[in-house]
Structure 1
Amino acid sequence: MTHFQTGLLAPIPSHAMYLHFYCLPSSTEQQIKQTLSQLSSFTSQHDIVVGLASLLLERLGVSIPGLRAFPELSNQVVEIVRPNYDLWCWLRVAERGELVQALQQIQTLLSPVFKLSLQVDAFQYQSGRDLTGYEDGTENPQDAAAISAAILSSDNPQLHGSSFVAIQQWQHNFAQFNSMSSHAQDHMIGRRRLDNEELEDAPESAHVKRTAQENFEPEAFVVRRSMPWMRDDQAGLYFVAFGHSFDAFEAQFRKMLGLEDHISDALFQFSKPLNNAYFWCPPIQQGRLNLSALGI
């Protein structure tokens, strides 16, 4: 029996929706707990991953070791936006039409206490590629290594099986990307789009070299479950990284920003993260969210 939310390590779905909620200031502690309990029941009947933010748990007087707000990180290339979302839901479905009913149900369930702030529609592209055509999630940990990287192991049953997730909604500038030659694009990513082969002669700014998980000390492995998104004429990649802590993600992102060696990730030449946030994904007990750490 697994103690983690199954969507954390399950294959990427065909269609998905990322929902970001604020908790209404007028909501009482009792109302919040009651609504989260109802959400727990909802997750037992739907393919959904749920994350709770530190600000929400602070309102409940709860502290989860390792849970914190997204750090204040920045450089001269990009501004890091940190919205204070309270609740994150990743709806996962096989048919796009299923999202309509699931969205209505979850909004009805949460609406007395939580307000939907941001909705991001996502989809699978060419068996797991970014909209630029490059394969996403290469060298993701697998099987036991994935569990070790993404799932918290603890003697405390309230924490055992939980996970920490970092999310970033990256918006691509396709005009900028398409103005580059294939050679320049490959060296910006650090892999050949044609065969996904890593390029040894790529510059130090190449995205692959900035984020090579095995090159950090300690190694910085996370389980990535990112998906392309599109809204009107905007599109990009909704980046999702699960870890047994936030440390591995932060090590990678700090290097992307060049905070130690002043070399910024070449990815910033055509893409930027619109939203950045951290959440704690509670464990599962008997098919429901285990919210006992919250007194639920």
Structure 2
Amino acid sequence: MSDGSWNRVPIEPQSVNAPLSASAIFLVVTIGESDEALATARSVVADMGALVRTVGFRDLNGHLSCNVGVGSQAWDRLGQSSRPAQLRVFPQIPGAAREDGTHPVAVSTPGDLLFHIRSERSDMCFELERLLLDALGDSVTVVDEVSGFRYFDSRDLLGFVDGTENPTGASMWESSLIGDEDPEFAGGSYVVVQKYLHDLRAWELLSTDEQERIIGRTKPDNVELDGDAELRPSHKTLNTITDANGVEHDILRDNMPFGSPASGEFGTYFIGYSRDLWVIEQMLRRMFMGDPLGSYDRILDFSTATTGTTFFVPSNVVLESLG
């Protein structure tokens, strides 16, 4: 939890805390260099609510939503007089050495705008993305697009339940939304996205017991393992962030599996929302570098990060003002 108390005044956040959905599209684009491209992007982003309503009214039970995130460099280009306190470019993180001398790396990749589209219906996600890209036209270049799906009982393609540690109730708001510690941007959130590709063949050669030791939970029933019994820190342990005062800090994940059996591509799209960007950055440093140093997250022997970008998701009021 952050030191600043969360602002209880209505601040119209975007749908950061929407329930986990059945389908999602993660769309990352860069904005062209021309003034015309920037003007088009500003106009579309500021009117995002209208696009969502255009598609969403067809089936209110589809719960269509779209969060818009703005990258650090794009924020400056939009001509804002001030910046969110923690907004910065995603830092590439070189991992600790493996036994074969190679290193897992949390790569840093370009991205000016993130569109996190969610719905209970994949066709609604598709239609909103289609209209969005039509409106943006050649003002942007798509640098990454991933269509995710909810897999059975919220499992990833490694077979484990994902998102177990998500905060709930009031803790969800406290962990994911900026409060009065940065009042101009209250109701906003920092978000980090990474696309991970899995080597499922190698993963499936492991015994269930070894998989469980790597993750830190049992596979069938998602019971947390005793950390004291771990031979080295598990994925769960490395992702638990506690500050010098013993206070644990949470983030809100909405990870989604994705893949194509025909092309042999299988992965997890990590997306983490946080009131404090440093919490996610510390999680990733612990995963890739290890804590203690060298004891990196063994899941990285089977999962490779191919993207990594940081965005700020402003409140709806600030988002509309960008236009």
How does the TM-score come out when normalised to structure 2?
Answer: 0.83
Please say which of residues 11-20 and 109-118 is displaced more in the overlay: 109-118
Supply the distance in 1 between the matched residues of 2:277 and 2:20 (Cα, whole angstroms). 21
CA deviations 1:66-123 (Å, max 9, x no partner) are 1100013112321222111101001112222223322210101112421222110100
SS of corresponding position for 1:3? coil
Structure 2 residue 87 is matched with structure 1 residue 67: yes
Structure 2 residue 227 is matched with structure 1 residue 164: no
Structure 2 residue 105 is matched with structure 1 residue 79: yes
Structure 2 residue 270 is matched with structure 1 residue 254: no
CA deviations 1:117-163 (Å, max 9, x no partner) are 21101000113111122111112111110100000113776412110
Tell whether the 8 Å contact from 1:27 to 1:113 is kept in structure 2 after alignment: no
The aligned residue for residue 36 of structure 1 is 45
Q: Which amino acid aligns with 1:48?
A: C
Which of these residues, 178, 202, 217, is aligned with residue 191 of structure 1?
A: 217
Note the C-alpha offset of 1:52: 0.6
Structure 2 residue 90 is matched with structure 1 residue 58: no
Q: Which amino acid aligns with 2:94?
A: S
The aligned residue for residue 270 of structure 1 is 302
**1:68-217 equivalences in 2 (<5 Å):** 68-75=88-95, 76=97, 77-154=103-180, 158-200=184-226, 201-214=229-242
RMSD of aligned C-alpha atoms?
2.1
Structure 2 residue 314 is matched with structure 1 residue 282: yes
The aligned residue for residue 238 of structure 1 is 269
The aligned residue for residue 100 of structure 2 is none
SS of corresponding position for 2:279? helix
Tell whether the 8 Å contact from 1:170 to 1:274 is kept in structure 2 after alignment: yes
Tell whether the 8 Å contact from 2:193 to 2:308 is kept in structure 1 after alignment: yes
Tell whether the 8 Å contact from 1:3 to 1:160 is kept in structure 2 after alignment: no
Gaps of 5+ in 2: 1-9, 57-64, 98-102
Please say which of residues 206-215 and 246-255 is displaced more in the overlay: 206-215
SS of corresponding position for 1:228? strand
Tell whether the 8 Å contact from 1:150 to 1:244 is kept in structure 2 after alignment: yes
CA deviations 1:200-229 (Å, max 9, x no partner) are 222323111111245775523111111111
How does the TM-score come out when normalised to structure 1?
Answer: 0.90
Q: Which amino acid aligns with 1:17?
A: I
Cα distance change, pair 27–259 in 1 and its aligned pair in 2 (3 A): farther
Q: Which amino acid aligns with 1:35?
A: V
Gaps of 5+ in 1: none
Tell whether the 8 Å contact from 2:257 to 2:269 is kept in structure 1 after alignment: yes
SS of corresponding position for 1:111? helix
CA deviations 1:36-72 (Å, max 9, x no partner) are 3233532455511111101111222333321100013
Please say which of residues 96-105 and 117-126 is displaced more in the overlay: 96-105
Which of these residues, 6, 13, 28, is aligned with residue 4 of structure 1?
A: 13
Identity level (%): 23
CA deviations 1:239-271 (Å, max 9, x no partner) are 111111211111111111225522111111211
Please say which of residues 21-30 and 274-283 is displaced more in the overlay: 21-30
Supply the distance in 2 between the matched residues of 1:106 and 1:257 (Cα, whole angstroms). 35
The aligned residue for residue 27 of structure 2 is 19
